[in-house]
């Protein structure tokens, strides 16, 4: 099986007391041969490997997902409780890894309830919120987002262009002022003795006036 989707579940049992072993034993008892999921994340954030990734799953009948997806389950009932930070961290890590390995696009990372014709609350509203955020990260931007991005880039380019021409103009003005100051200095140097006498004369007049 080459997985095209990742389907995320919750165990719908109490988060902190649900063990991998208990869920696995329960599924074997049902005659599924192994735990139905490919991965299971307990409240402590530990990733337990379920059935082999080449094995058909037993976690989502709807839309034939057992035959074309990997199932990842988190211990907990996320309709009524929150997943732990460690669980979310582990989930994010394994989702990114599997996306990379099997070239699964972000939009194919689904909560069980999102699968067509699946009628279930799984994986719970609280986990759904998080699934939506992992889908957004590193996902291909939509045409609208691409356009918005392009527009921003163009605006920034124009702004840079304006700043550049302002800078060039200021730089030209600065250079011409520098030139003028140099000329004035040369002119003053050549008239130094005259200027000194002149200043003295002004001072003397001022003194006589007062």
Which residues of the chain form contacts with Zn ion (CB under 5 A)?
9, 112, 122
> Which CB atom, from 122 or from 127, has the smaller least distance to Zn ion?
122
> C-beta of 123: minimal distance to Zn ion in Å?
6
Round to whole Å and give the CA distance between 91 and 134. Answer: 9
> C-beta of 152: minimal distance to Zn ion in Å?
40
| Gyration radius from the chain CA atoms | 36
Phi, psi of 110 (to 5 degrees): -120, 150
> C-beta of 88: minimal distance to Zn ion in Å?
17
The DSSP element (H or E) to which 46 belongs, if any, is none
> C-beta of 71: minimal distance to Zn ion in Å?
8
> Which CB atom, from 9 or from 24, has the smaller least distance to Zn ion?
9
> Which CB atom, from 51 or from 112, has the smaller least distance to Zn ion?
112
> Which CB atom, from 99 or from 113, has the smaller least distance to Zn ion?
113
**Helices and strands (H, E) in the chain, number of each type:** 5, 5
> C-beta of 62: minimal distance to Zn ion in Å?
10
> Which CB atom, from 122 or from 131, has the smaller least distance to Zn ion?
122
Q: How far is CA 64 from CA 67, 70, 197, in A?
A: 6, 12, 104
Q: How far is CA 198 from CA 151, 157, 188, 201, in A?
A: 64, 56, 12, 5
Round to whole Å and give the CA distance between 121 and 79. Answer: 8
> C-beta of 9: minimal distance to Zn ion in Å?
3
Longest dimension (CA), the chain: 120
E-state strands within the chain? 5-10, 39-41, 47-49, 69-74, 109-111
> Which CB atom, from 106 or from 118, has the smaller least distance to Zn ion?
118
């Amino acid at each position: 099986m080459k997985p095209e989707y990742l389907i995320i579940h919750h165990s719908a049992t109490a988060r902190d007391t649900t063990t991998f072993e208990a869920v696995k034993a329960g599924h074997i008892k049902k005659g599924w041969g192994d735990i139905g999921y490919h991965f299971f994340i307990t409240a402590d954030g530990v990733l337990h490997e379920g059935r082999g990734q080449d094995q058909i799953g037993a976690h989502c009948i709807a839309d034939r997902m057992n035959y074309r997806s990997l199932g990842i389950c988190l211990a907990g009932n996320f309709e009524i409780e929150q997943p732990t930070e460690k669980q979310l961290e582990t989930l994010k890590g394994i989702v990114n890894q599997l996306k990379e390995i099997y070239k699964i696009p972000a939009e194919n990372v689904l909560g069980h309830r999102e699968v067509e014709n699946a009628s279930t609350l799984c994986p719970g509203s609280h986990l759904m919120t998080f699934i939506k955020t992992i889908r957004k990260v590193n996902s291909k931007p939509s045409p609208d987002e691409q356009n918005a991005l392009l527009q921003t880039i163009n605006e920034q380019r124009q702004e840079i262009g304006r700043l550049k021409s302002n800078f060039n103009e200021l730089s030209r003005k600065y250079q011409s002022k520098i030139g003028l100051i140099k000329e004035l200095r040369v002119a003053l140097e050549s008239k130094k003795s005259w200027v000194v006498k002149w200043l003295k004369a002004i001072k003397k007049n001022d003194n006589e006036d007062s």
